[in-house]
Structure 1
Amino acid sequence: MTRLVRTDEGNAYDHLGLRLRMRLTGGDTAGHLAVIEHVGRRGAATPLHRHSREGETFVVLDGELDGWSDGDHTVVAAGDTLHLPAGSEHAYRVRSTTARFLLLVTPAGFEQFFVADGTPSDPAAELPPVPGPPPAQAVERLGQVLDGYGVAITGPPPA
């Protein structure tokens, strides 16, 4: 089924210091693909982690990200695309003052983690602050939630 997503469409959530907007979900694509727009400030990052089933592709629209995959570091700038296959240990951090990028998740399904673990937000609101290092209890809880999606936290955000 053809699906057009207008600029102002898609539910928004704040998660790990990022504003996420669901552009396409598995429900829109018969489970093949999810597209999530991310916007964040410098320092917003994920811990090192590994997906057992999804590949993730980052398309940077504005700004820059630091990307890590299996021990390698790269700067992903506006116009660049970075694909991380399932099974790779990876993380990213917003490098520039702000960055806007699309995350393509294949196959879909993992986008539901952001819905379940994020905080519903107004897409026009000020961006959330970058959180400091999470307490051990929060990391443990996040790890338990991610386990249900076939994702394992393998370490803190790279330095």
Structure 2
Amino acid sequence: MSSLTAGEVVHVDPSALSTIDHIGILARVVLPGEVTGGNFAVVEQRGRLGFMTPRHLHTSESETFIVLEGALEGWCEGKSILVEAGQVLHLPANREHAFRVASDRAHHYIVVSPGGFEEFYPATGTVLDRSAFDEAPPLQGPVSPEKVDELAAWLAPRGASITGPPPFAP
């Protein structure tokens, strides 16, 4: 898709996309921001119970989760909400937030607005074989302090930060 420019009609076959293991969740960038003129990006994810992000804050990007299977728990500035298949969760920019997989397995899309932040996944994750997306997501343990430092270093120049450990019980 990198040869496409904003304003073109785009068809995406997700099975042709790279799969990334990103701190224990499988992700693939379905629609990069460069194709939407920077307006938004779409990332598809599959995860297992136990996956959770540290508390973090984006000064520019909002994240909207569209849950296809399973359940997610979103947390924003002290308030938690459970969203299940067919439901949507919006976490606005400039508000401390986190999310976790709240069911045995979950499958969802994240619409990130504006686009550009989707570069986070390949930059700080591990690229796997494309077929790995259809396999069972990895079992997730706590994100190591070294990995948190790596994520924080990537986030800082982009106006985002890790603000603390996950707000969820293990």
TM-score, normalised to structure 2, is 0.88
Question: 1:153 aligns to what?
Answer: 162
Larger helix proportion of the pair: 2
1:10 maps to which of 7, 17, 33: 17
2:49 aligned residue (39, 42, 48) = 42
- Asked if 1:135 corresponds to 2:144, the answer is yes
Structure 1 unaligned segments of length 5 or more: list them.
none
How many residue pairs get aligned? The number is 159
1:71-97 C-alpha deviation (Å, 9 max, x unpaired): 100101001111111101110010111
Alignment partner, residue 5 of structure 2? none
- Contact 1:21–1:123 under 8 Å retained in 2: no
| Whole-angstrom distance in 1 between the partners of 2:146 and 2:49 | 25
Correspondences of 1:49-64 after superposition (within 5 Å) = 49-64=56-71
Aligned to 1:105: 112
Instruction: Show the counterpart of 1:78.
Output: 85
Q: Which amino acid aligns with 2:151?
A: L
Which 4+ runs in 1 deviate beyond 6 A? none
How far does the alpha carbon of each residue in 1:92-115 deviate from its partner, in whole angstroms, 9 at most, with x for none?
Answer: 010111000000000001000111
Output the CA distance in 1 between the equivalents of 2:113 and 2:66.
Answer: 14
Q: Distance in 2 between matches of 1:143 and 1:68?
A: 19
Superposed CA RMSD in Å reads 1.4
Amino acid of the structure 2 residue aligned with 1:156 = P
Task: State how far apart, in whole Å, the 1-side matches of 2:64 and 2:138 are.
Answer: 25
| Cα distance in 1 between the residues matched to 2:62 and 2:106 | 21
